[in-house]
Amino acid sequence: MIVEQRRNRLLELIRVRGFATLPDLAEELAVSESTIRRDLEFLEEAGSAKRTHGGAFYAGASPKLPHFDERQPAQWDKKKAIARRAAELIQSGDTILLDGGTTTYEVARLLVGRALQVVTNSLPVANLFASAANADLVFVGGYIYPRTGVALGPYANRMLAEINVRRTVLSVGGINERGFFNNNLLLVETERAMIKAADEVIVVADSTKLGCQSLAWLCGLDEIDYLVVDHELPAEWRKKLTAAGTKLLVAEPIAEPASKHDETSE
Sign of CA dihedral 113, 152, 75, 178: negative
- Asked if pLDDT for residue 91 goes beyond 50, the answer is yes
pLDDT score recorded for residue 256? 55
Model-wide pTM > 0.85: no
Per-residue pLDDT reduced to its tens digit, 100-125: 998 999 899 889 889 999 999 998 88
- Asked if pLDDT for residue 229 goes beyond 50, the answer is yes
- Asked if pLDDT for residue 18 goes beyond 90, the answer is no
pLDDT score recorded for residue 128? 82
The identity of residue 162, as a single letter, is E
How far apart (Å, rounded) are the C-alpha atoms in residues 81 and 205?
11
| β-strands 165-171, 198-204 pairing | parallel
Domain at 71-251: CATH code: 3.40.50.1360
Q: What is the mean pLDDT of residues 202-221?
A: 94
Question: Which of the two residues, 15 and 207, has the higher pLDDT score?
Answer: 207
How far apart (Å, rounded) are the C-alpha atoms in residues 132 and 155?
26
pLDDT score recorded for residue 262? 45
- Asked if pLDDT for residue 260 goes beyond 60, the answer is no
pLDDT score recorded for residue 33? 92
Per-residue pLDDT reduced to its tens digit, 145-166: 888 889 999 999 999 999 999 9
Question: Quick one: which of 84, 87, 78 has its CA closest to 54?
Answer: 78
Q: List the beta strands (DSSP E) in 8-155.
A: 19-21, 49-52, 55-58, 95-98, 116-120, 135-139, 143-145, 150-152
pLDDT score recorded for residue 61? 47
Under the banding of pLDDT at 50, 70 and 90, the label for residue 73 is: low
Per-residue pLDDT reduced to its tens digit, 22-61: 888 999 899 999 999 999 998 888 777 878 777 887 765 4
Per-residue pLDDT reduced to its tens digit, 233-253: 999 999 999 988 889 999 998
- Asked if pLDDT for residue 167 goes beyond 60, the answer is yes
Question: Quick one: which of 125, 80, 130 has its CA closest to 251?
Answer: 80
Same fold, 3-61 and 71-251: no
How far apart (Å, rounded) are the C-alpha atoms in residues 99 and 184?
13
Residue spans of the domains in the chain: they are 3-61, 71-251
3-61 has CATH 1.10.10.10 classification = yes
Per-residue pLDDT reduced to its tens digit, 169-180: 999 999 999 999
